[in-house]
Amino acid sequence: MRSPGPCPPVAAGRSIGRVAGTTPGEPKPQRSGPAEPSPGIRIARPFGIPVFISPYWFLIAGLFVFLYARGLVQSVPGELRYPVAAAFVVLLYASVLVHELSHSVVARAFGLPVRRILLYPLGGFSEIEREAPTPGREFLVSAAGPAISLALAAVGYGVSRAVYGGGLTGPVQGGGVASVLLDQLVFANLLVGLFNLLPGLPLDGGRMLRAGVWKLTGNPGRATVAAAWAGRVLAACVLIVPLALYARAGYGIQLFNVAWLAVIAAFMWTGAGQALRATRVRERLPALQARTLARRAIPIPANLPLAEAIRRADAAQARALVVVDHEDRPIAIVNETAVMATPPQRRPWIEAGTLARTIDPGLVLPADLSGMALIEAVRRTPASEYLLVEPSGQVFGVLATADLDHAFAGA
């Protein structure tokens, strides 16, 4: 692509001279868009979907094993309590994995890409990269998890009744360790299924509620707000109602139970808050336009001293430097962070091209990009600067990730 001359002016801002003069130790703008989560340890790849487990899971799993083993004093011999407790914890999280896989499989059946499944101390999360296009599909994807959990509970209950004559309605007679594990697994899946049906985000029931409100109103944003506030009400109830009942009945309540209820309530409140913030961002995403965020750029040869390049940019009130070849074609973008890190006394002796990144195809973006399309384009090829071009191929300017982050935070 040819660059016939300096790029068209954009909104007024700092010149690159003033940018370069800032102290390198000053705080830099932080990425405020969706952060890349730490995937943890990959343990499986069912149906081609990577499954990762959080390192913190092992700490919580160890605590669960200890607590559960203490509750097996009456039903399991002493030397088997901890192995049985460990087996139960593994089976419990296997059930959580099946729960999440059901979400992912249904999502993929509807053409929604699934990036991975994350297992963390309080459960699991299916990372579906795109929102369902209709409320009906949203409902089905959300309902798949609780449905499979309740189905597993029903199958386990049937097996327990048929083989051991026990289950949730009464104690097992002579079933031994296997019956204890089976009954606890039935109870765990029943609890997971019913708890996730509670109508409030971030639970599956909240997404089902969102789908219903979306269907009635035709407004997915309004539906998210309704389901998120329902989630916050539920979070408060999870903590307050049990405590009030205990207090009214005059029963004591263990500190561990209070802490556990508080953790669950905090998880629900935080998830609902994240949904509200995401909705506010989505509503204002159309305001994120590459053209309005672009920095004016000037073309420079690669061997131009950095100090002279900064002087030219400052004189032109530009905030970006694009390295061009002998045919005036852009080939690299000077990195702002590298410029700021270069002491002023060294700038006359350093060629600007040595601080530039080659313009790969992923770093060239249409100047007309906006909203989610702009965010996704940046996510595909992470970088600090991008070259914006017109449909004709003419250079429009440079988009700095820091500016996009600042606008994203404002959204």
For residue 22, the model assigns a pLDDT of: 34
Cα–Cα distance measured from residue 10 to residue 251, given in angstroms and rounded to the nearest whole number: 68
In contact, 323 and 301? CB cutoff 8 Å:
yes
For residue 9, the model assigns a pLDDT of: 34
The pair of structure tokens assigned to 269 is: 């409140």
Residue 244 clears pLDDT 50, i.e. is over it: yes
Percent of residues, the chain, with pLDDT higher than 70: 81
For residue 198, the model assigns a pLDDT of: 92
Dihedral of CA 39/42/44/49: which sign?
Answer: positive
Least confident of 263-272, 277-286, 355-364: 277-286
Mean pLDDT along residues 62-91: 78
CB-side neighbour CA atoms (13 Å) of 17: 12
Give the pLDDT band of residue 266 (cuts 50, 70, 90).
confident
Mean pLDDT along residues 393-399: 91
Domains of the chain: 16-30+288-410 (3.10.580.10), 41-197 (no CATH)
Mean pLDDT along residues 274-295: 82
- Number of Cβ within a 10 Å radius of residue 83: 13
Residue 374 clears pLDDT 80, i.e. is over it: yes
Mean pLDDT along residues 80-94: 83
Cα–Cα distance measured from residue 299 to residue 306, given in angstroms and rounded to the nearest whole number: 13
State which amino acid sits at residue 376: E
Residue 328 clears pLDDT 50, i.e. is over it: yes
The pair of structure tokens assigned to 330 is: 């852009």
Across all residues in the chain, what is the average pLDDT?
Answer: 81
pLDDT tens-digit series, residues 9-57: 333 333 333 333 333 333 333 333 334 545 678 888 998 899 998 888 8
Cα–Cα distance measured from residue 95 to residue 153, given in angstroms and rounded to the nearest whole number: 10
Residue 385 clears pLDDT 50, i.e. is over it: yes
Residue 140 clears pLDDT 90, i.e. is over it: yes
